[in-house]
Amino acid sequence: MRVAMVVGSSSDLPIVKEAYRLLRDFGVEVEVRVLSAHRTPEELREYVKEADEKGVEVFIAAAGKAAHLPGVVAAHTTKPVIGLPIPAKHLYGIDALLSIVQMPPGVPVATVGVGEARNAALLAVQILSLKYGELAERLKEYREGMRKRVLSSEVEME
């Protein structure tokens, strides 16, 4: 089970690091590459094709501003692509969110909230859990841990 994470710029790496760590915690093999839809289009196309051939099962593509990266990745694969909008200085990532979520018919990209790298990783795990039962079990345990943390929260009001 493999996930390929592609980011449009090295400045996006601090945000996707959270997704990387969570995927590794679930035991998912993950590879991260910096490739731009606009500045390295040929290299991006080639990487997606090679990743498909090497057995990548889900792509996470993180991009800000124009945010064409997830759509370009989706154009070159039939594997699931999860778009992660990166918050930017101007418009706070809303431009990226709208760009990613408004894909044309026939080339879907699943989209998570702006900067929500953990949700991108968890969605990848959910997709993979359809094939790998052990991931489904780990996901149930993860959710149970979240439930317990919420229920054990202390509330003090003064």
CB atoms within 10 A of CB 132: 16
Q: At what angle do helices 117-129 and 133-151 cross, to 10 degrees?
A: 140
Domains of the chain: which residue ranges? 2-151
- CATH architecture of the domain with range 2-151: 3-Layer(aba) Sandwich (3.40)
Burial category of 147 from C-beta neighbours within 10 Å (exposed 0-12, middle 13-18, buried 19 and up): exposed
Q: Is the pLDDT of residue 89 over 90?
A: no
Predicted confidence (pLDDT) per residue in 18-54, tens digit: 999 999 999 999 999 999 999 999 999 999 999 999 9
pLDDT tier for residue 86 given thresholds of 50, 70 and 90: very high
Q: What is the dihedral of CA 89, 18, 121, 55, to 10 degrees?
A: 110
Note if the pTM is more than 0.75.
Answer: yes
Length of the chain: 158
Token pair belonging to 66: 């124009």
pLDDT score, position 70? 98
Q: What is the average pLDDT score of the chain?
A: 95
User: What residues contact 40, with CB distance under 8 A and at least 6 apart?
Assistant: none
Q: Is the pLDDT of residue 77 over 80?
A: yes
pLDDT tier for residue 155 given thresholds of 50, 70 and 90: confident
- DSSP string for residues in 21-81: HHHHHTT-EEEEEE--TTTSHHHHHHHHHHHHHTT--EEEEEE-TT--HHHHHHHT-SS-E
Predicted confidence (pLDDT) per residue in 100-131, tens digit: 999 999 999 999 999 999 999 999 999 999 99
Q: Is the pLDDT of residue 1 over 70?
A: no
